[in-house]
Copies of this chain bind each other. A is one copy, B any other.
Amino acid sequence: MSKEIPAKERIAIIGVGQTAFGEQWDRSIRRISLTAATACLADAGVSGDDIDALYVSNTSTSSFIQQEHQAVMAADSGGLLPVASTEVEAACASGGVAVRHAFLAVKSGEHKVAMVIGCEKMSDISEPAIADTLMSAADREWEGQIGATFPALFALLARRHMHHYGTTEEQLAAPAVKAHANAVDNPYAQFRFKITTEQVLKGPVVADPLRMLHCAPISDGAAAAILVRGDLVEKFEGDPIWIDASTQASDTLALHDRPHITRFGAVTSAAKKAFEKCKMKPKDVEIAEVHDSFSISEIIAVEDLGFVEKGKGGFAIADGYFDKKGTLPVNVSGGLKAKGHPVGATGIAQVVEMVEQLRGTAGKRQVKGVKRGLTLNLGGTGSTAVLHILNRE
């Protein structure tokens, strides 16, 4: 890609930053966002005055502490005024969608340097209130009001996948076991310890067949990135990673409207566009961060991204294909499961991880020599998919 397209027509990420994910009882959401933003500005070598567009992703603060207009709040507390500040919302895909809109803003020629900040502070809120608020991202009228929660909806996907493709309980546990093994080396991760398949299978049931360790946790945290027009890269210190494709697609809000609940139509659609744009195939991806809010999410996603044959996701994960030392490392960061899932920050944190991997600065979790990576962020039960292909060159 790099040699075919003039730098001015490409977009680069020149800075990233994030907080550790986990419980942050001692900090406000303003402070958490600011910590990630400050780290990101320093990494990019960019001053606040250079930022001319700001995107903020957050899903639940309007419910949790009755605060909307968070893009202005972040611009204001970050000293970035009078920057154009916009909050985007696409459920758990909000972070990826924010990155995509910074990309579009710069690509449009209307902005030169765009920043994204994603944040969520969930520990303060009771678990039933969180479960109910998150259901705002599914179909409230047709799913939420009859008592469905996200674990319940994803449990339907898991049970159907097991029935249709023969995915086993051990395979369903595999994404979580892999995530925890990877997170040990990630200083940002919420859970830096290994778990066994047996522990997953003996955990308390959340929504059969999903048990506690199949599910991503409740987390606090923020992540940030700065994007610039390609010809301005030289002006700043940050080591650039290039965006080769940024695509987004939607599927039905409610599960019952889909012909096959074990397929993420939005993923197939966004992936097709992205691979066409980059003139590449799924097998050309060298490393990926894939949305694993529940272990079944990762299983279905790696199939619909075309990494493995449909129905073989659980088998391939359990078989080590997506291990850090496997053919295609997926979720070396620990993923949503073990790194943590502060919803608004998640999609940006995937990009932060990928930038560090492609720069070769990922420390103990570095996958050697990777040049091209993919991030996939999902919202709802796969109702939104947003996908980025990043390139070292």
Contacts and interface: CB of A to CB of B under 8 A. Distances in A.
B84 A248 contact: yes
Interface in A123-175: 132-133, 135-141, 144
Contacts of A75: 250
A76 B107 contact: no
Nearest to A140: B67
Interface stretch (A16-24, A36-44, A97-105, A304-312): A97-105
A63 B89 CA distance: 14
* Stoichiometry, copies per complex: 2
A88 interface: yes
A101 B101 CA distance: 8
Contact of A69 (B86, B132, B384): B384
Nearest to A75: B250
Contacts of A137: 68-69
A66 B132 contact: yes
A62 interface: yes
Interface stretch (A182-190, A251-259, A315-323, A369-377): A251-259
A65 B110 CA distance: 36
A59 B67 contact: no
B71 A90 contact: yes
B144 A82 contact: no
A35 interface: no
Contacts of A246: 110
A69 B379 contact: yes
A107 B334 CA distance: 37
A269 B83 CA distance: 9
Nearest to A139: B73
A219 interface: no
Nearest to A11: B108
A6 interface: no
Closest 4 CB pairs of A and B: A84-B248, A107-B108, A68-B136, A82-B269
20 contacts: A66-B140, A66-B144, A69-B90, A69-B136, A69-B137, A69-B253, A71-B250, A71-B384, A72-B253, A72-B379, A73-B253, A75-B250, A76-B254, A81-B252, A84-B247, A84-B249, A86-B97, A86-B248, A103-B108, A104-B105
